[in-house]
A and B are shown apart, each in its own frame.
Chain A
Amino acid sequence: MNIRDTITTINELQAAGVIGSYAIGGAVGATFYLEPITTLDVDVFVAFRTEPGQLVSLRPIYDYLTARGCVVEGEYVVIAGWPVQFLPAGSSLVEEAIDQAVEHNVDGTPVRVFTSEHLAAIALQVGRAKDKARLLQFNEAGALDADRFQSIIQRHKLVDHWRRFERQFLGDQP
């Protein structure tokens, strides 16, 4: 199990033209800005080029990877021991997050990751307990550019979500 090998394979998938732009999100993406967060899988968001009304097919990805020894398990492909889920951009926020993702370098291995502000905005939008916890981590760590974050949540109509979150969790910090 080695997540750097997983990232290398995803880069190869892109270099082979099977996928276009991609960016890592979820807990693995957050780990680029925060302390490491326990997770069981890797979320890879992909900008699929489809015609209006055309369904996104993951088959080319699965075909490429299974030909190289990866195994499909339900909605995941196991790459270097890590279950990876390839996700299409299901909202304008995620589309923008993929478009504006930043490239990090892990000892010579490039990897595209959502910005911390987009990760936080997506956490706000998804809104599960663990997403709220992650949002608190971003806030506490000072990992967000406030102007940039505000601009994103205004653009994607999440200001009310943020106000509610502030009232609920940031009103009385020690």
Chain B
Amino acid sequence: MNFDLTRVLESKRAYRRQLAARPLREKLEMLDALRARAIDIQRAAASSHLKADAVGEAPGTYGTGGPR
């Protein structure tokens, strides 16, 4: 089996382009579903030995001079 990274990356790009081109209504429904999934993962992580904020970063400042 050949592992062609270029083809894999191009395939990923094509799928992302396809998702980006979906109607706005569908994309907003996907946001709802993605958020629900993220919350489930956070809850599962919180109830296990994993820390919910294991991957974190500082909030943005948007030019306000301090954390949001």
Please list the residues of chain A having a beta carbon within 8 angstroms of any beta carbon in chain B: 1-4, 28, 31-40, 45, 75, 82, 85, 87-88, 90-94, 104-107, 122, 125-126, 128-131, 137, 140-141, 143, 174
Interface residues on B, range: 20 to 34
Do residues B25 and A107 form an inter-chain contact, with CB atoms below 8 A?
yes
Bound together, the chains give a CA A28 to CA B35 distance in angstroms of 11
Query: Is B53 an interface position by the 8 A CB rule?
Result: no
Chain B residues in 8 Å Cβ range of A35: 16, 19-20, 27
Interface residues of B in 11-56 (CB under 8 A from A): 13, 16-17, 19-20, 24-25, 27-28, 30-32, 34-39
Closest chain A residue to B41, Cβ basis = A38
Chain B residues in 8 Å Cβ range of A4: 25, 28
Selected contact of B63 from candidates A33, A93, A106, CB within 8 Å: A93
Bound together, the chains give a CA A90 to CA B64 distance in angstroms of 5
